[in-house]
Amino acid sequence: MRYASKEFLTPWEPTWSPDHLSRKAFSNRVYWSQKNINGGTAIPLFMFRREDDKLVGAITLDNIRHGPAQTGTMGYWIGHTYARHGYMTEALRAMVHYAFSTMDLSRVESACLPENVASRGVLEKCGYKYEGVAQAYIQINGRWRTLAETGAVPLILSLEKMTKIRAVYPEENVMLVDAGVILADIQQAAEDVDRLFPLSLASGGSARIGGSLATNAGGVNVLRYGNTRDLCLGLEVVMADGAIWNGLGRLRKDNTGYDLRHLMIGSEGTLGIITGASLKLAPRPRDVGVALFTVPDPIAALSLLAMTRDEVGEAVSAFELMSKMGFDFLSETMPDVRQVIEDKPEWMVLIELGMGGVQSASDALERLFELGHEAGLVSDGVIAQSTQQAQDIWTIRETIPEANRRIGSISSHDISLPLSMIPEFIKEAPKHLEKLCDMRINCFGHLGDGNLHYNVFPPKG
């Protein structure tokens, strides 16, 4: 690769020894690279193209220092065939993110020749800022050359002081809030006026609405109420140039031009910073019921979901699939969490109904159990008989992610699938993982909207 790209790379790289492409020279570099890796002073990596595993270049985080200065230096090269295809930009972004988020560095430096427009463009795309020049810094083609010095530093923007609930309009089912308001506080403010803000996340006690909108968060109530996008009527956004876009409308129907709100939601701050939101509220269900049913497999769970919808329509607030591994992890790491069913089945579903008519949620769940049992879809179950028992059932579901974290060494995946493909995915994915080793898999998630949390762990011990 480097030999084939010699003419392309030579104008930009330092002068190498005549034998630098020989097997001996390369073996020597591998030896010193391994020493640097072991010493924690460098992370040298080759880059391979995803679709065909072809080598495209290399990138190295070098001169890593920890202490008063938490810094490193990034260097890279790419083969001429693969230049200007975005590969280096993607790799550099990933490495910079790793340096800041995992290695806790506070600064990453890079340098290139001032006339290397392509390299400077890559650095700018990845957040580097021009800081000056290093005079006569490096020898290239027999000449001492000046380098353009650039640096990247992490930027943290916190809206935690923007916690005002600006206005509540219960007759309109609308609430205006600052972006820094915690989700649980929004839910409480809605409850105070006999309304419901349906977004429900396990992190509701710490998640802020601005971040939830920026990521288009889902949660357990997507089946009935939709994602965060579906719960937003308008936004207030600070744009990249500092201009404020005031789109805090309260209208359900607004046909006046482009709906920039939908561009901002899910953009993760790349287009602007959300500072305020107009949120949709919903009537509070008059009766809520929660149940935990045992099902033989994910296919039966899907059939039970269809049966539930046929019986109660849009009253299904949540339909969560859980596997035995999640219950095992809870027993292993969080034994104080009360498990309402002693014998752990391979698969269970958590169902929550929110009824608004004359039929009680408990009666609806009992009928659903009977129908499911007759159809061979349900073999056992618990229907909550009190608020505390309902909370105990939900606690199981909401603490499984923490149990995963305590198990450690997790490879976590958030996967969206068409409903009909979920059973096949759950069946086939372990077969591919078995080729690596005997993995432990904790698969659970929001079956009603096709979102699985697929978590892979190495064997125990």
User: Across the beta sheet with 244-247, what order do the strands follow?
Assistant: 165-169, 174-178, 272-280, 232-239, 244-247
Annotation: CATH topology of 6-152: Aminopeptidase (3.40.630)
Residue 77 CA to its chain's centroid (Å):
30
Local structure of residue 191 (DSSP, 8 states): H
The model's pLDDT over 47-92, given as tens digits with 9 standing for 90+, comes to 999 999 999 999 999 999 999 999 999 999 999 999 999 999 999 9
205 CB burial (10 A radius; 0-12, 13-18, 19+): exposed
Report which of 150, 108, 153, 109 is spatially closest to residue 133, judged by C-alpha positions: 150
Separation of first and last alpha carbons in the chain: 41
Query: Are 154 and 141 in contact, with CB atoms under 8 Å apart?
Result: no
Which H or E element spans position 171?
Answer: none
Return d(Cα 313, Cα 133) in angstroms, integer.
Answer: 67
Report which of 433, 434, 353, 338 is spatially closest to residue 391, judged by C-alpha positions: 338
The model's pLDDT over 247-273, given as tens digits with 9 standing for 90+, comes to 998 998 888 888 899 999 999 998 999
The number of CA neighbours under 13 Å toward the Cβ of 272 is 23
The model's pLDDT over 425-437, given as tens digits with 9 standing for 90+, comes to 999 999 999 888 8
How does DSSP assign 67-109, residue by residue?
SS--EEEEEEEE-GGGTTSSHHHHHHHHHHHHHHHTS--SEEE
The per-residue pLDDT of the chain, averaged, comes to: 93
Looking at the structure, give the CATH architecture of the domain made up of residues 165-283: 2-Layer Sandwich (3.30)
The model's pLDDT over 92-134, given as tens digits with 9 standing for 90+, comes to 999 999 999 999 999 999 999 999 999 999 999 999 999 999 9
Return d(Cα 200, Cα 221) in angstroms, integer.
Answer: 6
Residue 258's pLDDT is what?
87
How does DSSP assign 302-321, residue by residue?
HHHHHHHHHHHGGGEEEEEE
Region class of 270: left (phi > 0), else alpha (psi between -120 and 50), else beta: alpha
Judged against a pLDDT cut of 70, whether residue 344 lies above it is answered with: yes
Residue 265's pLDDT is what?
97
Q: Under 8 Å CB-to-CB from 148, ≥6 apart: which residues?
A: 111, 112, 113, 114, 120, 130, 132, 133
Q: 406: how many CB neighbours lie within 10 A of its CB?
A: 14
Q: What is the 3-state secondary structure (H, E, C) of 340-360?
A: CCCCCCCEEEEEEEEECCCCC
| Mean pLDDT (whole number) for 340-347 | 87
Report which of 332, 368, 352 is spatially closest to residue 457, judged by C-alpha positions: 332
Query: Are 78 and 88 in contact, with CB atoms under 8 Å apart?
Result: yes
Query: CATH says 287-457 is which class?
Result: alpha beta
Q: Under 8 Å CB-to-CB from 451, ≥6 apart: which residues?
A: 218, 222, 414, 415, 416, 445
> Where residue 3 falls among pLDDT bands split at 50, 70, 90?
confident
Return d(Cα 449, Cα 417) in angstroms, integer.
Answer: 9
Query: What sign results for the dihedral spanned by CA atoms 242, 243, 244, 247?
Result: negative
Return d(Cα 86, Cα 405) in angstroms, integer.
Answer: 34
Give me the residues paired with residue 178 across strands: 276
Local structure of residue 10 (DSSP, 8 states): G
Angstrom CA distances, 56 to 48, 81, 112, 429, 440, stand at 6, 8, 19, 29, 34
Return d(Cα 139, Cα 132) in angstroms, integer.
Answer: 18
% of the chain beyond a pLDDT of 70: 100
Query: Are 60 and 77 in contact, with CB atoms under 8 Å apart?
Result: no
What share of residues in the chain are helix, strand, coil (percent, to 5)?
Answer: 35, 30, 35
Residue 345's pLDDT is what?
93
How many residues appear in the chain?
A: 461
Query: Would you list the domain boundaries of the chain?
Result: 6-152, 165-283, 287-457
How does DSSP assign 264-298, residue by residue?
HTTSTTSSEEEEEEEEE-EEPPSEEEEEEEEESSH
Pairing of strands 55-65, 244-247: unpaired
Residue 461's pLDDT is what?
66
Q: Under 8 Å CB-to-CB from 426, ≥6 apart: which residues?
A: 298, 443, 452
The model's pLDDT over 278-306, given as tens digits with 9 standing for 90+, comes to 999 999 999 999 999 999 999 999 999 99
Report which of 416, 417, 405 is spatially closest to residue 442, judged by C-alpha positions: 405
Helix (H, G, I), strand (E, B) or coil at 44: strand
What are residue 209's phi and psi, to 5 degrees? -65, -30
Judged against a pLDDT cut of 70, whether residue 440 lies above it is answered with: yes
Q: What is the pTM of this model?
A: 0.69
What are residue 192's phi and psi, to 5 degrees? -60, -25
